[in-house]
Amino acid sequence: MHRWKWFAICTVLGLLLIVCGLLVPAHLRAVDSRVIERAGRNTPALTEKGLALVSANNLGAAQLLLQAGKEASLADHETLAVVAGNLANEHPDWQAWGGPEPRPFSSSDRGVVNAGSEPFTEIMIRQANREKVLDFLRASPTAAVQELLRCRRLTNTTFFPPSQSASGQAFDAALAICGLLLEQGRLSGGLSQEMAGLAANANRGGSPQPLEYVFMDMLSLGQRLNWGQLVAFVGRIDDAGTLRLLANLARKSDTQLAVLFSAVQLSGKPADAAGYLMKFSETGFGDLRTSLRFGAGGVTELLRRNQPMHVSKLPGQIALDYCWQMPGFALSLKWFLYLAGGFLLAAAMHFARPAVSALEQPLQVRGFHVAREILFALGFLFVVLLLSEPFLAQESQKAEMPFRLRLPMVGSAVAAEAGAPSSIMNSVNPVILLTLALFFVLQGLIYIACLVKLAEIRRQRVPPRVKLRLLENEEHLFDAGLYLGFAGTIVSLILVSVGVIKQPSLMAAYSSTAFGIIFVSVFKIFHLRPARRTLLLESEAASPERVAPGVAASFATSP
């Protein structure tokens, strides 16, 4: 009854600890949605940011945030819709520009033909508007603007036809957009200085290609954004590299532009948003859309963690603040709960075993069952992590997007292929790495279990000859690594043949057998063989039939 009482206690406590571990929202390769929600608590919401943009008369940016709110199913997006609608009704001419028209344009000369929002590039590509802006820029006292205007003399351009050529409209349109943003102070200090430096380098005989990249990015964003939206978007970008990544993302995911725009506006970290979407090209937009529900803090936390979001279906929020502020500690706590739960379950199985007979009492060595329970707990922890950790075997989603510029407003003449030098990622499939780790850990646990059993037999209170027999009795345990290795290889090949494994790998399949051979060989050569030799000598020394030293000496001296 005493043993069964301990069995019940260990079982209940072990299961309770495992459940608590499951309820801790900390993960190795993901961030839990409850952590994102906690980080966004008491931070500005998407609707609040949209209302602030309406107050600043940036109708276009507020409308993009409203679109993102609808896509994210925000409960209060109707409030923003009403306020933005009222502003649009009060100023119908702001629909095209996304807000008050920039200088040198006026409300009486909108320079547009569409009643609704019109991309700013389409406005600037028209000759009358382009010349008006260029004349306005010639009178600018800003040195960076004048440096840009001198770039119209360049003839060694790579992607654009020179400004003075018959096809120079695209170059002039891009230069006019960048110059207008510089003149009105709409760019960040870092991007303004970098653009001025690129223009100065091109005018002094350097390659104009870096500056052309900036021009193409601005044109590409202008094809998708009106003036108010463009100002709000590029005003937070600090360098040309980030501008290029964001333009690539906008080109590739036109339907997700509202989500990208809102993530940049809420977080204020365009470089982090671009890096996140480049790293998680398949799930990144969906995760960002979900994080918009939790406000600026939620978006910022997702970008800071730089991990995919996991939406857990389990209730409970154990150690939620630690998961947010101290993720490493929370993850360690979760693993400790799994480890302790597995140890208690192993202890419960120990107490459930029947009491040993009097004949086996000399074979009992105190404390060794604890070592076996620790080994079980380690194996249990590894299995639980394999089964419960999200995205553990997920392949890389890193995007390599080509640059393609299309300007339909000037026909199909301008279609250039360019882009940053692409790097080919020759990485090993994560599923293969996980398989190798699984086989290695299992073989390592069996190896340690054999060492524990060998140490236990050495300490048993029986004669050496009995210990030798006991070692012979454990031969199947000592060969378990080989059995497991062969079984792992056979099962892997079967799964490949029936199509369960989509990307077969002979390395992963045969690694099971290879690890088994290595671990079993090391154990038998370096541990079992010396132990048997010692027991053989001890057995011979204790045997009454052994030859006495004096008799052996007499045989040696006899004629």
Which of the four pLDDT bands, split at 50, 70 and 90, describes residue 107?
low
Distance CA 168, CA 405 (A): 15
Strands 31-32, 309-310: parallel, antiparallel or unpaired by DSSP?
A: parallel
Residue 297 sits in the same domain as residue 318: no
- Number of domains into which the chain is organized: 3
Residue 557 lies in a domain: no
Residue 329 sits in the same domain as residue 450: no
Residue 138 lies in a domain: yes
Residue 302 sits in the same domain as residue 318: no
Residue 274 — φ and ψ, nearest 5°? -65, -45
For residue 458, the enclosing domain spans 428-542
Residue 455 sits in the same domain as residue 503: yes
**Mean pLDDT highest for which of 114-123, 354-363, 436-445?**
436-445
User: Residue 357's pLDDT is what?
Assistant: 79
Among all chains, which residue has been given the structure tokens 């931070």?
Answer: 43
User: Residue 353's pLDDT is what?
Assistant: 86
User: Residue 503's pLDDT is what?
Assistant: 66
Residue 445 lies in a domain: yes
**Segment 348-385, tens digit of pLDDT:** 999 998 877 788 888 888 888 999 999 999 999 999 99
* Cα dihedral across residues 352, 354, 358, 359: positive or negative: negative
Q: What is the mean pLDDT of residues 480-495?
A: 90
Residue 318 sits in the same domain as residue 289: no
User: Residue 504's pLDDT is what?
Assistant: 64
Residue 22 lies in a domain: yes
- Residue 104: exposure state from Cβ atoms within 10 A (0-12, 13-18, ≥19): middle
Residue 241 sits in the same domain as residue 292: yes
**Is the model's pLDDT at 113 over the cut of 70?**
no
**Is the model's pLDDT at 513 over the cut of 80?**
yes
- Residues shown for the chain: 559
User: Residue 502's pLDDT is what?
Assistant: 63
DSSP string covering 461-516: SS-HHHHHHHHHHTHHHHTHHHHHHHHHHHHHHHHHHTTSSSS--HHHHHHHHHHH
Q: What is the mean pLDDT of residues 387-408?
A: 68
User: Residue 364's pLDDT is what?
Assistant: 82
Q: Please give the mean pLDDT across all residues of the chain.
A: 87
User: Residue 1's pLDDT is what?
Assistant: 60
The answer to which of 66-70, 102-106, 317-321 has the lowest mean pLDDT is: 102-106
Which of the four pLDDT bands, split at 50, 70 and 90, describes residue 415?
very low
Structure-model confidence comparison of residues 553 and 20, the more confident one: 20
Name which of 535, 532, 440, 536 is nearest 478 in CA terms.
532
Residue 85 sits in the same domain as residue 201: yes
User: Residue 291's pLDDT is what?
Assistant: 95
Which of the four pLDDT bands, split at 50, 70 and 90, describes residue 401?
low
DSSP string covering 134-198: HHHHHT---HHHHHHHHGGG----SSSPPTTSTTTHHHHHHHHHHHHHHHTT-S-HHHHHHHHHH
Residue 218 sits in the same domain as residue 336: no
Residue 19 sits in the same domain as residue 107: no
Q: What is the mean pLDDT of residues 334-343?
A: 97
User: Residue 405's pLDDT is what?
Assistant: 47
Name which of 292, 333, 326 is nearest 309 in CA terms.
292
Peptide bond into 504 cis (omega under 30): no
Distance CA 199, CA 254 (A): 30
Mark which of 272, 307, 342 sits at the end of a domain: 307
Residue 150 sits in the same domain as residue 234: yes
Residue 478 sits in the same domain as residue 538: yes
Q: What is the mean pLDDT of residues 487-491?
A: 89
Q: What is the mean pLDDT of residues 301-305?
A: 96
The answer to which of 143-152, 287-296, 404-413, 516-525 has the lowest mean pLDDT is: 404-413
Answer whether 95's CB lies under 8 Å from 59's CB.
Answer: yes
Which of the four pLDDT bands, split at 50, 70 and 90, describes residue 430?
confident
**Is the model's pLDDT at 500 over the cut of 80?**
no
Is this structure's pTM higher than 0.85?
Answer: no
Cα 106 from chain centroid? 47
Residue 287 lies in a domain: yes
Mark which of 241, 272, 307 sits at the end of a domain: 307
Mark which of 286, 307, 328 sits at the end of a domain: 307
Answer whether 238's CB lies under 8 Å from 274's CB.
Answer: no
User: Residue 400's pLDDT is what?
Assistant: 65
Residue 58 sits in the same domain as residue 100: yes
Residue 518 lies in a domain: yes
User: Residue 421's pLDDT is what?
Assistant: 41
Instruction: Determine if residue 367 is left, alpha or beta; phi over 0 gives left, psi from -120 to 50 gives alpha, anything else beta.
Output: left
